[in-house]
Amino acid sequence: MAFAPFARVLAMALAMLVAGPALAARVVVATPTSLTAALAALRPGDTLQLEGVFTTPLSLRNRDFGGVLVDGSRATLREGIQLRNVHNISFRALTLGSHDAGTASLFAAFVDRSTHVSFSGATVLGNGDATGTAMRIINSQFVTVRDSLFDRNVDGITLITSPDSLLTNNRFTNGGSDGIKIVDSQRIIVSHNSCTNFQPLPGVHPDCIQFWSRPGKPLQSDIYVLNNLLIGDQQGFTSFDPAQLSGTRFTFAGNYAASSYVHALSCFGCTESRFENNVITSLPHSTWAAGLHVPGGANNIFTNNLVFDLRGNTGALADILPARMLSAIVPSIAGLVGSQHDDRSWDVDEAMITPEATANPVPEPATWLMMGAGFVLIGRALRHRPANPVVMA
């Protein structure tokens, strides 16, 4: 028995000798004609370099990739990507869809029953029709979508029953309905996203960021909505469903909504939630005043929320918009949500918002908000603040 420890060590050493050194990570190139072979050759930690125009969906199923990085900087996936039961994979610089035709699927990117999946630096293109969502994520966990552009899609990102996820620094432009929908999910950070230049389709109720709890399911909870921006004809940051009690432990802080809709920031029946340093502005062409609405809630905290009313103002928009009040709140779940294979930070460098930047010329009233400048526009507005705001303590 005295030799048992030595025997175990010797066995381990022999096993390592037989196995040899760990295989080094490689770059595996995949074109539309070599994709199947390239996927078969991938090992954990490799980079898959996509090259060319893919005219059929990139479909991945039932695989743990062990930390593979897919680099799409040299490719276009016109029919998008579909992931089912896929784990530990990151996608960088993908171009999905096109402006000249919609994808055959309703989703340019579809993720189902997957974990530790990341999309960073993606460009997701719609063709401006009345159907389709850029990215649908369902029944998944630890998903990151960051630093990406969603242009001319009806909806941007829909996240359903996918807890512990991170959506940060994404831009949604020229859409027809919603930027982000978060449904039946807990422990989410959604930060520094922007919605601009939306042209709502007839009959829709567009939101920049919308939250839905489902009847009979646990309330959405532990959600941080930080430093997001809306300028235009959308509702802002809203949680309505079910209306009597739609969420708990939300933090809305540093958000900016310059809107023509009533619900710039609304959380119906929300409890134990925090509302701090949010700026709400009714745009000059608005019929109704935009506001902060938290009916039926309890144990909520309201601190330094400002409400401005610019209705009827004829000044240049870049000169009359109030300044932002960015939040420095650190989420309790920081570093714990999003893919373990990507950057889990939720903040961005606000120095890129330069006060010297100028907005585009203002067109006619019906379309004068149609500007994609987003954060650049607000950078100019940092010099200006309309007098006498309403302070929602």
Q: What is the pLDDT of residue 128?
A: 83
Percent of the chain with pLDDT over 90: 74
Q: How far apart are CA 302 and CA 276, in angstroms?
A: 6
Residues 6+ apart with CB under 8 A from 16: none
Select the more confidently predicted residue: 128 or 183. Answer: 183
Q: What is the pLDDT of residue 141?
A: 98
pLDDT tens profile 199-223: 999 888 899 999 999 988 999 999 9
Rounded to an integer, the average pLDDT of 271-287 is 97
- Which residue from 228, 255, 279 is spatially nearest to 385, judged by alpha carbons? 279
Quote the longest CA-to-CA distance of the chain.
91
Is pLDDT of 224 > 80? yes
pLDDT tens profile 48-95: 999 999 999 999 999 999 999 999 999 999 999 999 999 999 999 999
- Which residue from 57, 30, 55 is spatially nearest to 42, judged by alpha carbons? 30
Is pLDDT of 381 > 50? no
Domain with CATH 2.160.20.10 in the chain: 27-227
- The DSSP code sequence of 249-299 is EEEEES-EEEESSSEEEEETT-BS-EEES-EEEE-TT-SS--EEE-TT-BS
Is pLDDT of 179 > 60? yes
- Which residue from 205, 201, 198 is spatially nearest to 181, judged by alpha carbons? 205
pLDDT tens profile 84-113: 999 999 999 999 999 988 888 889 999 999
pLDDT tens profile 290-320: 999 999 999 999 999 999 999 999 989 989 9
pLDDT tens profile 340-361: 999 999 997 654 443 223 233 3
Q: What is the pLDDT of residue 130?
A: 75
pTM to 2 decimal places: 0.86
Is pLDDT of 198 > 90? yes
What are the C-alpha distances in Å from 73 to residues 22, 26, 50, 70? 28, 17, 7, 9
Rounded to an integer, the average pLDDT of 243-255 is 93
Superfamily of domain 27-227: Single-stranded right-handed beta-helix, Pectin lyase-like (2.160.20.10)
Is pLDDT of 376 > 60? no
For residue 205, the Cα-to-chain-centroid distance in whole angstroms is 19
List phi, psi (to 5°) of 62.
50, 55
